[in-house]
């Protein structure tokens, strides 16, 4: 099916989705690590508009944005389908994938960065989103049913990212008692060998943010109005 390249960053929760999908499909690919502080000519060549990762390059043609790339992979390589064939089920999976990216990830990030007097409310907002995800996976092995599907790969980027934000922001987002189904699914999902191989680890994320000075910036902004 031609040459496949992935331009990404090993600590990106969006990039790992692409590698998971390719491994699930049995597709061989070349991985190109991107330095986000010094963007490379190849990234600017293949994603000149947004200049962001991940980018999938297939036979010299680029596809950008993780959810778009996942659908491209699923349509191009038929083995181990990610999305259901039923139009309604497919649309539903797309809807919840957008919910994860636009609500769960962003609300958790906002909770991490919130100023002290706003932190409790921000955490509650993030947990409200996680509660919806908890209901979605209740009684299921995977979001896709009995096998890993599109939504599993999207939600799969959450567990370690949330642990990282909890440590960075000094907050608690995932409570096993509040979200038992999501908590149980998360524990099992991150231990799947090909998932574990590529998932960003919380300690590595903390180290990156600390050494780059980003952690200090985030904590400083959260305390700015309390001085």
pTM of the full predicted structure?
A: 0.91
Closest by Cα among 207, 128, 107, 222 to 170: 222
Instruction: Find the distance separating the first CA and the last CA of the chain, reported in whole Å.
Output: 59
pLDDT in tens, 68-107: 999 999 999 999 999 999 999 999 999 999 999 999 999 9
* Band (36; pLDDT cuts 50, 70, 90): confident
Q: According to DSSP H, which parts of 138-192 are helical?
A: 150-155, 158-169, 180-189
* Band (209; pLDDT cuts 50, 70, 90): confident
* Alpha-carbon span 52 to 50, nearest angstrom: 5
* Alpha-carbon span 163 to 169, nearest angstrom: 10
């Amino acid at each position: 099916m031609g040459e496949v390249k992935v331009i990404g960053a090993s600590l990106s929760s969006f990039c790992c989705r692409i590698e998971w999908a390719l491994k699930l499909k049995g597709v061989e690919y070349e991985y190109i690590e991107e330095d986000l502080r010094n963007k490379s000519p190849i990234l600017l060549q293949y994603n000149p508009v947004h200049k962001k990762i991940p980018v999938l390059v297939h036979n010299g043609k680029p596809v950008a944005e993780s959810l778009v790339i996942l659908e491209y992979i699923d349509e191009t390589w038929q083995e181990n389908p990610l999305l259901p064939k039923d139009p309604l089920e497919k649309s539903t999976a797309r809807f919840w994938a957008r919910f994860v990216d636009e609500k769960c990830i962003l609300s958790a990030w906002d909770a991490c960065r919130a100023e002290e007097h706003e932190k409790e409310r921000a955490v509650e907002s993030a947990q409200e989103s996680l509660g919806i995800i908890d209901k979605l996976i209740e009684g299921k092995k995977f979001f896709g049913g009995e096998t890993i599907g599109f939504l599993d790969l999207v939600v799969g980027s959450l567990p370690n990212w949330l642990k990282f934000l909890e440590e960075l922001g000094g907050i608690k987002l995932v409570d096993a008692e509040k979200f038992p189904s999501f908590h149980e699914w998360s524990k099992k999902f991150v231990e799947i060998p090909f998932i574990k191989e590529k998932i960003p680890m919380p300690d590595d994320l903390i180290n990156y943010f600390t050494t780059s000075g980003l952690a200090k910036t985030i904590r400083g902004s959260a305390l700015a109005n309390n001085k």
